[in-house]
Amino acid sequence: MEQKQFQAESQRLLDMMIHSIYTHKEIFLRELISNASDAIDKLYFQSLTDDGVQMNKSDFCITIAADRDARTLTLTDNGIGMTRKELEEHLGTIANSGSLQFKKENSLSEDNQIIGQFGVGFYSAFMVAKRVTVRSLAFGEAQGYVWQSEGVEGYTIDTCDKDTVGTEIILEMLDDIEADEDGNGGENYSEFLDQYRLQSLVKRYSDYIRFPIKMDMTKSRKKEDSDEYEEYIENVTLNSMVPLWHKNKNEISEDEYNEFYKDKCGDYTEPLCHMHVRNEGTITYDALLYIPSHAPFNYYSKDYEKGLQLYTNGVLIMDRCEDLLPDYFSFVKGLVDSEDLSLNISREMLQHDAQLRQIARSIERTIKNELKRMMKNNREKYEQFYQAFGLQLKYGIYQDYGMHKDLLQDLLLFPSSHEGKLTSLQEYIDRMPEGQDKIYYAAGESIARIELLPQTEQVKDKGYEILYFTENVDEFAIRMMQTYQEKAFQSVLDSKLDLETDEEKKTLEEKQEASKDLLEVMQKTLEGKVGSVKLSGRLKSHPVCLSSEGDLSMEMAKTLNAMPSSEGGQVQANTVLELNPNHEIYQKLMDLQASDAEQLAEYAKLLYDQALLIAGMPVEDPVAFSNRICKLM
């Protein structure tokens, strides 16, 4: 028996390795299983050319056994095993990866998926074990060897009796540490001896290892013809082995896709659709993506966390890789599996963002195309999607100074005056009558409120369709877009709509000239409340309406002022009180302007409050408003 020391640097390195590379100590199981899988892969590779390997593919397996009394966890594989030299080189030297070497020396077939590359994963065992014993018989050797270590101090190697090829790793678990009074500092290692915990860890990290991972599980069942229960042992295969996304699409039923979603994505309802892609461009990856049928309860809050699962070679690397999804598609669930990724040493991150960005861009295109297809071929489904996530698309347009508009604008839908249905911008354009050169919209609290707005009458009379913006973000998003297919967006609540004929304009100008004094008095009375008072050519049944001029609409001002950050600094739209010269009220005002200035002032204020109410804005002084009405009555 020979005693060897780690070199001083190695000791420090090992200490770092054990305590700072990994965020979760539970990944030790993933690492040991991955090593076992690699060992089997290597022996399988050997069997392709070597008749000496007496194994069928179906004989290969990995076994886990937990002994709670002895506090040991044992992992066994019937892979290639390690010679004495290999034990020393691969387990005794940090960052020496026999697997990486193997990959370099052998041109591997598609069938081989060696996972190891860094030569550190093994040491993660010391995060949970006080002593690790490795018993191994290498293929083609007669003598087995045992390697044993308690971590930093070094290791021993000796001969041992082992008559089956492969490796057995025995972890003697650390003792649990009780938490202090405040509940801090506690460590639980016994959990890794619990069969259900082990089962769920295998499911989580190693579900797609291609060889069966087996464990004897103690279960209980009712005895026959009796009310008593008995315990029995069942040998359970813990992993599902074949990743659904590696199967052929036509071999997977809709049900299988849906079950997988419900199982993996934590949703109990069926998804709206799935996307199964195999990309073989500059970067090779598989992806299985889903769009949920409803928004999670916290979707539109800060608590929602977007991301896709990231696998490489069937091993889970990241549970939620945020960088794979842009915010506007944050509702998508699923996973990406790629062999082309360069991982960082802990396998918790990627080394090169460029690869990730490439995958993300390609995924983004996939999602967009799927949504476009759905919109075209299954409108009902698309509207269901839009109900749940349309708001997010609009935020996407508004975000980043509108740089995603080309990607997202074709996915938008708005309610409109056309048969009260949701319409896309393209459909709106397709319906535009000759002579219409703008896309008209009106913003308001609800469709019903918008339809009552006086300003919509004239536009509808001209035969123009109006998009209804009922969500706060709508107008902001559209202003970011500015145009769609070179057609400008135009709010019908803007005072400069300019839909009158030349003749109408001429008559209006004449009347405006005649009412100069009236308008001046009214404007003075309403100073600080409205920017200007004007005669309007577009009103039919209403005496007045309130419009705005310039970049900031009344609805936008309302939204901005309602934001917590706006406190103190309120913004104001530049408003215009429009007066209908064909309404009898107008004549009344003209009369008063000559006879009773005081009364005129009262009426001006009253009309202004009316205009506010119709526009869906709060009256500034409800009591004064009410008093004026009472006086009138």
Q: CB of residue 221 vs ligand ADP: minimum separation in angstroms?
A: 34
User: Which of ligand ADP, Mg ion, none binds 593 (CB below 5-8 Å, type-dependent)?
Assistant: none
CB-wise, 313 or 559, nearer to Mg ion?
313
CB-wise, 38 or 364, nearer to Mg ion?
38
Q: Which of 79, 292, 334, 402 binds ligand ADP (CB under 6 A)?
A: 79
- Residue ranges in 8-67 that form contacts with ligand ADP under rule CB under 6 A: 31, 35-36, 39
- For helices 27-47 and 195-206, what crossing angle results, to 10°? 60
CB under 6 A: which stretch of 15-23, 77-85, 377-385, 422-430 binds ligand ADP?
A: 77-85
> Coil, strand, or helix at residue 609?
helix
| Contact call for residues 332 and 299 (beta carbons, < 8 A) | no
Which residue's Cβ has the minimum distance to Mg ion?
121
Q: How far apart are CA 63 and CA 85, in angstroms?
A: 25
- Residue with the two structure tokens 């890794």: 192
CB-wise, 35 or 423, nearer to Mg ion?
35
- Residue ranges in 383-412 that form contacts with ligand ADP under rule CB under 6 A: none
555: nearest Cα among 473, 628, 454: 473
| Contact call for residues 593 and 516 (beta carbons, < 8 A) | no
CB-wise, 98 or 531, nearer to Mg ion?
98
Q: How far apart are CA 621 and CA 540, in angstroms?
A: 28
CB-wise, 116 or 543, nearer to Mg ion?
116
- Where does residue 461 rank: exposed (0-12), middle (13-18), buried (19+ CB within 10 A)? exposed
* Length of the chain in terms of residues written: 633
CB under 6 A: which stretch of 74-82, 394-402, 443-451, 465-473 binds ligand ADP?
A: 74-82
Q: CB of residue 98 vs Mg ion: minimum separation in angstroms?
A: 9
**Residue 404 in tokens:** 């995603």
Q: CB of residue 30 vs ligand ADP: minimum separation in angstroms?
A: 10
CB-wise, 131 or 487, nearer to ligand ADP?
131
- Where does residue 370 rank: exposed (0-12), middle (13-18), buried (19+ CB within 10 A)? middle
| Contact call for residues 23 and 61 (beta carbons, < 8 A) | no
Q: CB of residue 132 vs ligand ADP: minimum separation in angstroms?
A: 11
User: Which of Mg ion, ligand ADP, none binds 167 (CB below 5-8 Å, type-dependent)?
Assistant: ligand ADP
Maximum alpha-carbon separation in the chain: 121
Q: CB of residue 317 vs ligand ADP: minimum separation in angstroms?
A: 13
CB-wise, 59 or 263, nearer to ligand ADP?
59
CB-wise, 77 or 609, nearer to ligand ADP?
77
How far is CA 327 from its chain centroid? 7
Q: CB of residue 95 vs ligand ADP: minimum separation in angstroms?
A: 8
Q: CB of residue 372 vs Mg ion: minimum separation in angstroms?
A: 43
Kindly list the distances between the CA atom of residue 619 and the CA atoms of 254, 470, 509, 547, 616, in Å, as whole numbers in the listed order.
56, 21, 31, 15, 9
Binding of residue 343 to ligand ADP (CB under 6 A):
no
- Residue ranges in 536-565 that form contacts with ligand ADP under rule CB under 6 A: none
CB-wise, 118 or 398, nearer to ligand ADP?
118
How many CB atoms lie under 10 A from the CB of residue 547?
29
**Residue 175 in tokens:** 């003792």
**Residue 95 in tokens:** 């960052």
x-or-dash string of contact with ligand ADP, 110-149, rule CB under 6 A: ------xxxxxxx---------------------------
Backbone angles phi, psi at 494, to 5 degrees: -85, 140
Residue type at 269 in one-letter notation: T
Q: CB of residue 483 vs ligand ADP: minimum separation in angstroms?
A: 55
Q: How far apart are CA 456 and CA 452, in angstroms?
A: 8
Which residue's Cβ has the minimum distance to ligand ADP?
98
Q: How far apart are CA 158 and CA 3, in angstroms?
A: 9
Binding of residue 167 to ligand ADP (CB under 6 A):
yes
Q: How far apart are CA 302 and CA 502, in angstroms?
A: 53
Q: How far apart are CA 375 and CA 382, in angstroms?
A: 5
- Residue ranges in 218-247 that form contacts with ligand ADP under rule CB under 6 A: none
Number of residues that bind ligand ADP (CB under 6 A): 22
Q: CB of residue 211 vs ligand ADP: minimum separation in angstroms?
A: 12
457: nearest Cα among 535, 536, 538, 537: 538
User: Which of ligand ADP, Mg ion, none binds 98 (CB below 5-8 Å, type-dependent)?
Assistant: ligand ADP
Q: CB of residue 118 vs ligand ADP: minimum separation in angstroms?
A: 4
Q: CB of residue 90 vs ligand ADP: minimum separation in angstroms?
A: 3
Residue type at 32 in one-letter notation: L
Binding of residue 90 to ligand ADP (CB under 6 A):
yes
| Contact call for residues 87 and 144 (beta carbons, < 8 A) | no
User: Which of Mg ion, ligand ADP, none binds 119 (CB below 5-8 Å, type-dependent)?
Assistant: ligand ADP
Binding of residue 209 to ligand ADP (CB under 6 A):
no
In the complex, the residues that contact Mg ion under the rule CB under 5 A are: 35, 116, 121
- Residue with the two structure tokens 């199964």: 276
Which parts of this chain interact with ligand ADP (CB under 6 A)? Answer: 31, 35-36, 39, 77, 79-80, 82, 90-91, 97-100, 116-122, 167
